[in-house]
Each structure stands twice: as C-alpha cells, then as structure tokens.
C-alpha cells in the first residue's frame, strides 16, 4: 500500500507530503524528533518518547502546536491508516517556515510530521554473529555545545562519525567525548557486561538517554543483574566479557569486537542473548494499541 504521511493535520500520499524549503528544520536543522517502534499492533513506550520529544522542544524553546494527547492521537492514527503492526515511526517537529535568517522568531508556527513505515538498520545476520566496531576520531558534541540529551534535527555530528564508519567498512562505530570517555555510537547506546554487572555510560558524559536503553536496564534488573551507570573508557570495552548496543531502530544487538580486539570469546555472550530475548518479549507485551477494538 502507498504510505500516508501526516503533515500539519493532513495525511498525504508519501510522494505528495511536503514542507516548505523555508522551514528552519530544512535550512538549519532547527527542530526535534523521535524514532518510535510498533510491535504486534502496539506502539512501544509511546509516553516516554513523547515526554522526551516535549522536553527536547522545551530545551530549544520550540512551541509544539499540539498537546501531548493530540500528538499521541496523531501517532496512533498514522499507524492505523498505514496498516502498521510492526514498524517504525518518525515523529518530527521543526521550527516551521521562516525566512533565510537565523532568527527563530520569524517562524510563526512549528511544522509537525509523522511517518509510519518499516526499517532495518543493520543486516539480520549481525544480530546472530555480532558486530565489529571501531573508535572514530570525531568526538561527540559536548553537553555545553549541543547537549546530546536534546534529540534535535541537527545530526551532523553523528553523520560525520557514520561517514568514518562507512569509509572503514564498519556498520557502527564508538564515539568518545572530549575527555576520552566512552559515550555512545552514532545512533545507539552502549552496554558492557562484566560478570553479573551490566554497565552503561551515565547521561552527564554526553549521551542521549535512550528509551530502549531504559527498557533493557529494566529487564536486566528483573533478571537479577547488577545494573549501573558508570564512566567507561575504551579499556573497559576492550576487556569486557560482553558488549551490546541498544536503540529504537537497532533494538538490541551484540558487539564482538572493538578496535581489533575480541570482546570476551569473540562471540555473542549468554547475558547479552538473554537480555535481547527478554527485551523482545517486553516489546510485544506492552504498548499503546493502534486499533483499540482489536
């Protein structure tokens, strides 16, 4: 079926869905977004995604023209009209149409776009065999420059690192902050396993606080593991027993090598496998129904 895209109150066929070339989201990356998943006819962690969207908008002083209840209805209706059962939703709020100058006051009303489709971020075999990563020279933006907790449309920092990944033949890469601490990957949070401990970098080092990250931390605690946010260096990743990444698009995927060093046995580990299975069960057991009558 031809996908329908929500733009400012109307669902358009995808080839007809347009925003102005004077929109500040297009001209300057001035806006915020969320990537959201649907599983088995339910939108997973929609409330958490919407809260982060509105927090990001508040941080950049962007007034969203819909309240949270209305935005929730937009997401659900867009999924329903597109027949989405298992899919990916991209919710975008840009500053809106203005002029060629930087001044956001020239943008009268924000633009709201919702796309419901499917996505496959990494090759399917990597979820079984595990992926290789390397550390890239590009550092993650500092929290006092453009705080990574703001999920903004300005993703050039991540894209530069992704270009380095592509050039080196890697599907994903590890990013550090200006202090040389492990932060995250271009689109995923990182975890390591050491014995019965599951560790991930804390927000203050410069990460996006992932919704999938929080869900995996939840199931890890339910599994009786010691889960903590701790400062990590590359040494910690190199010497970990296991490693995995999480993200809405990526879900949860094992990492078996970093910077040419095998992690653990060089194969996906048992803790990682168990957490991925627990996460998948969680995804399919909760969420906002797309068709409440079903």
Find the angle CA(238)-CA(253)-CA(276) to the nearest 5 degrees: 110
User: d(Cα 1, Cα 149) in Å, to the nearest integer?
Assistant: 36
Q: Which of 106, 151, 162, 194 is catalytic?
A: 151
Cα separation of 121 and 145, whole Å?
28
Q: Cα dist. 123→119, 129, 185, 250, 280 in Å?
A: 11, 11, 17, 10, 18
Angle between helices 46-59 and 211-222 (to 10 degrees): 140
Strand partners, 13: 4
Q: Which two tokens stand for residue 132?
A: 């290789």
| Cβ–Cβ under 8 Å, residues 41 and 290 | yes
CB burial of 20-37 (b: ≥16 within 10 Å; e: otherwise) equals eeebbbbbbebbbbbbbb
Residue 13 burial (CB count, 10 A): 10
What does the block give as tokens for 147? 């705080």
End-to-end Cα separation, the chain, in angstroms: 21
Residue with tokens 């990597």: 126
Q: Tell me whether residue 151 is one of the annotated catalytic residues.
A: yes
- Positive or negative: CA dihedral 26, 31, 35, 38: negative
What residues contact residue 164 under an 8 Å CB cut-off, 6+ apart?
136, 137, 138, 173
Report, as residue numbers or ranges, the catalytic residues: 151
């Amino acid at each position: 079926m031809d996908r329908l895209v929500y733009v400012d109150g109307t669902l358009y066929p995808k080839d007809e869905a347009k925003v102005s070339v004077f929109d500040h989201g297009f001209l300057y990356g001035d806006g915020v977004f969320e990537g959201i998943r649907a599983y088995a006819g339910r939108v997973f962690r929609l409330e958490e995604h919407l809260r982060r969207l509105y927090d990001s908008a508040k941080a950049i002083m962007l007034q969203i023209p819909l309240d949270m209840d209305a935005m929730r209805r937009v997401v659900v209706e867009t999924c329903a009209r597109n027949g989405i059962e298992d899919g990916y939703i991209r919710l975008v709020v840009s500053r809106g149409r203005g002029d060629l100058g930087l001044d956001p006051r020239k943008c009268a009303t924000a633009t709201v776009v919702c796309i419901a489709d499917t996505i496959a971020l990494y090759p399917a075999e990597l979820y079984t065999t595990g992926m290789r990563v390397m550390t890239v020279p590009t550092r993650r933006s500092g929290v006092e420059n453009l705080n990574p907790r703001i999920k903004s449309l300005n993703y050039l920092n991540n894209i530069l690192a992704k270009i380095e990944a592509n050039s080196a033949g890697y599907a994903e890469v590890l990013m550090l902050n200006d202090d040389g601490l492990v932060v995250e990957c271009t689109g995923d949070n990182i975890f390591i396993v050491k014995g019965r401990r599951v560790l991930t970098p804390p927000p203050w080092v410069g990460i996006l606080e992932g919704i999938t990250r929080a869900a995996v931390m939840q199931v890890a605690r339910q599994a009786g593991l010691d889960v903590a946010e701790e400062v990590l260096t590359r040494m910690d990743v190199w010497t970990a027993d296991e490693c995995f990444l999480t993200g809405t698009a990526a879900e949860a995927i094992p990492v078996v090598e970093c910077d040419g060093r095998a992690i653990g046995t060089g194969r996906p580990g048992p803790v990682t496998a168990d957490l991925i299975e627990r996460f998948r069960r969680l995804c399919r057991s909760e969420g906002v129904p797309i068709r409440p009558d079903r």
